[in-house]
Amino acid sequence: MDTKAKKESGKLNIVDNDVDFWKIWESNPKELERQFAPIMWIVNKDKKETYDTHIKVSTIETVKARECVPCKLDVSYGNHAEKVMDIYGTDLPSSAPTLFFVHGGYWRSGKKSWSGPMVRNAYSWGVRTIVIDYPLAPQARLGTICNATQECLSYAMQMFPESTFVIAGHSAGAQLLLSLFHKIPGVMSISDNLKKRVAGAFLISPPYDMRPVIGIRSINKALQLKPEEVDQFSAVLTVSQIHPGWFQNQGQVEFSFCSGEHDPPALILQGEMYAAMLKQAGFSVNFRIISEYDHFTLIDNMVDAHSEITNTLKNFVLHCSESKKKANL
């Protein structure tokens, strides 16, 4: 199929929902990068200042969470210095719901020490939060990073065997969690018994198609993805490769995808396509675009107990956890 797309008023118009729409920029690496770079779509604000504020707000709030919420930091889940997690809400009942969060950072940066803006609010809902670190590129390949994420989730679920889990991630972290659902050569999967305890996936602006990354040198220089392997990490191409164990959990695991109005339109379009594919496969899916938010303020506003992103997360976590409990009665 010939791909036809045009840019009008910040939105992409695509013929026939073609997942190959991004190829119109394939011969222009600079434009390809612009189309998928979240910082380029920030409006009415200084781009660098917005990103710096994002790091500052997230760091300050994580420090406050560590001071105010009973927690255990740097819990090891594997034999690597970066395989550590922070557990918030250690005084909650073992049966309390767990929010398992994976930070973004283009797979090459990011830290749990500035990834806890949602922790204090989640604690007020009676929800335990686990925030993780994982090996980063270029020292680790993408398959290794995916394995670390799933290793941590498996370890955490075994630590709290009475808890239902909602997994959540931002940007690259959300992509790592998408890998949990698809069969990828060389990438482990949590056991079917553990799959039954995952109540929902709350994924914020992930790249659903990794093929454009090959042409974005600033990212792929660290990831070192090869053309022959990139398809398997692309969720929009692998819906037919969802692990059978998730279909056994169908109707019990729910998906919520969130993007900001000022996220890259290409990412939003990928998300709409993938959400439609999951719905067609029989899963419960919601795709939401939050007005006025960009890629970074989606996370920053989790500090605010009354923000739209916080209320969306709260309603999803509590709904999924309650639904899972009823299903297991």
For residue range 276-291, what is the model confidence (pLDDT) as tens digits? Answer: 999 999 999 999 999 9
Q: What is the pLDDT of residue 5?
A: 42
Q: How far apart are CA 59 and CA 146, in angstroms?
A: 25
Q: In terms of Cα–Cα distance, which of 123, 126, 245, 229 is closest to 182?
A: 245
Query: Which amino acid makes up residue 139?
Result: Q
Catalogue all structural domains in the chain, each as residue range(s) with its CATH number: 5-327 (3.40.50.1820)
Total number of residues shown for the chain: 329
Average pLDDT, the chain: 92
Q: Nearest-CA neighbor of 89 among 128, 137, 147, 47?
A: 128
Q: Which amino acid is at 28?
A: N
pLDDT value of position 2: 34
| pLDDT one-digit tens code per residue, 148-206 | 999 999 999 999 999 999 999 999 999 999 999 999 999 999 999 999 999 999 999 99
Instruction: Give this prediction's pTM.
Output: 0.94
Alpha-carbon gap, residue 247 to 33, rounded angstroms: 35
At 324, the pLDDT band (50, 70, 90 cuts) reads: confident
Count how many Cα atoms sit within 13 Å of the Cα of residue 288 in the half-sphere of its side chain.
19
Torsion sign, CA atoms 301, 126, 163, 318: negative
User: For position 329, what pLDDT does the model report?
Assistant: 59
pLDDT at 15: 44
Confidence of residue 64 (pLDDT cuts 50, 70, 90): very high
For the chain, the distance separating the N- and C-terminal CA atoms, rounded to the nearest angstrom, is: 49
